[in-house]
Amino acid sequence: MADETTPGTSGDSNKKDSLDLEKILLPKKDPSKLSAQRVNAAEVLEAASAPLPKAPAPEPLPVKPALEIPAIETYKSDIEETVRGKNISLVEIAAAQARRGGSLGPAEEEVPQGTSRKRLLQIGVGGLLLLGAVVAIAAALSRGSALPPAQSPSAPYIYVDGTQTVPVPEGSTRSEIMTELEADRQNTNIALGLISRLYLVAPATTTNAGAVPLSTSDFFSLMAPNADPSLVRSLDPTFLLGVHSFDGNQAFLIFTTNSYDQAYAGMLSWEDTMQTDLSPLFDRTPPIHIPEEGNTAAEAIAAPQLLQSPFSDLVVDNEDARVIQDSSGDILLLWTFVDRQTLVITTNQYTLQEIISRLTEAPVVPIPGE
């Protein structure tokens, strides 16, 4: 029985197999082109399946040239060059460096050559600063350890404007000491109205640690041996011998006593030789002048003199005094008790006024170290 073929089926299948896709022309996608133009179907499929082209990479921004950093010379690079060029091992280099006392520690490996001068400068400046600090400290220590300058002992009874130390060596005679004192009086250089002290001391010996001031009894035994011993016993051991700048340099003495009656009687007894005993230290030559009536500085008392003495009674600066005057009425020597404890001997009323003024003022005590 003959095969029955469905009409149209075999024919359609053969017709489909006989179709050539490459020869089929399809219209282009671009409608703006002529519809009559056709493209190959294989090319269209290939173009559709092809990946999209990559976008062009953006142009790189211009880069500034980097600063050229000089190569750093290090011990490491020097060692590597030496090893390569001279065929020397690292062990040999380390041994040679150790023999020289050097080191190849990490702190020395990478030191720029340009910083060596800067480091040397810093070291030098630091050394100078250290040296300056050491010198300053040494100077401060030397000043602190230095002994302070010897301070002149404060004068008793009144404040003075200066002190001159007069050594009295053992065995000195009255003539030698008086000559020295008179020279010191004449050479005292102080402003008008000021007072300087003549400080009599016995030089240091093996029996004492330092200079010892002369006592009142030492002064009288050396300078005025004719004074009444009862007077010397009534006076305190401390005395003040000084120079007052007025009409030249005028000498004065200040003593104190706890026995006014005995001291007063002893002074009256000493009047006969007092001027001679104190000469030439207490000599005064007043300026030549025409005497004036009514001398305000000193007024004589008209009472008759009870004692045969070169001294006479006179009121000087409201103080009862015993004085020696010249023919012009100028005072050459005087003594008075400004109170019942204080005895003053001097050559003129103006020095007495200055002493009384200072006796009533508080003494100035020097501060140590100033």
pLDDT in tens, 63-97: 555 555 555 555 566 666 665 666 666 566 666 66
Predicted local distance difference test score (pLDDT) of residue 54: 63
Predicted local distance difference test score (pLDDT) of residue 132: 81
Predicted local distance difference test score (pLDDT) of residue 150: 47
Predicted local distance difference test score (pLDDT) of residue 327: 87
Predicted local distance difference test score (pLDDT) of residue 161: 94
pLDDT at 51 over 90: no
* Residue bearing the bigger pLDDT, 7 or 235: 235
Chain centroid offset of residue 122 CA: 29
pLDDT at 20 over 50: yes
Confidence band of 331 (pLDDT split at 50, 70, 90)? very high
Q: What is the model's pTM?
A: 0.56
* Residue bearing the bigger pLDDT, 135 or 230: 230
Q: What mean pLDDT value characterizes the chain? A: 76
Domain boundaries, the chain: 75-133, 162-285+298-359
Confidence band of 148 (pLDDT split at 50, 70, 90)? very low
Predicted local distance difference test score (pLDDT) of residue 95: 64
pLDDT at 48 over 80: no
pLDDT in tens, 271-305: 999 999 999 999 998 887 665 555 544 444 434 45
SS (H, E, C) the chain: CCCCCCCCHHHHHHHHHCCCHHHCEEECCCCCCCCCCEEEHHHHHHHHHCCCCCCCCCCCCCCCCCCCCCCCCCHHHHHHHHHHHHCCCHHHHHHHHHHCCCCCCHHHCCCCCCHHHHHHHHHHHHHHHHHHHHHHHHHHHHHHHCCCCCCCCCCCCCCCCEEEEEECCCCCCHHHHHHHHHHHHHHCCCCCCCEEEEEEEECCCCCCCCCEECCHHHHHHHHCCCCCHHHHHHECCCCEEEEEECCCEEEEEEEEECCHHHHHHHHHHHHHHHHHHCCCCCCCCCCCCCCCCCCCCEEECCCCCCCCCCCEEEEECCEEEEEEECCCCCEEEEEEECCCCEEEEECCHHHHHHHHHHHCCCCCCCCCCC
In this predicted structure, which of 108-112, 137-141, 240-244, 270-274 has the lowest mean pLDDT? 108-112
pLDDT at 159 over 50: yes
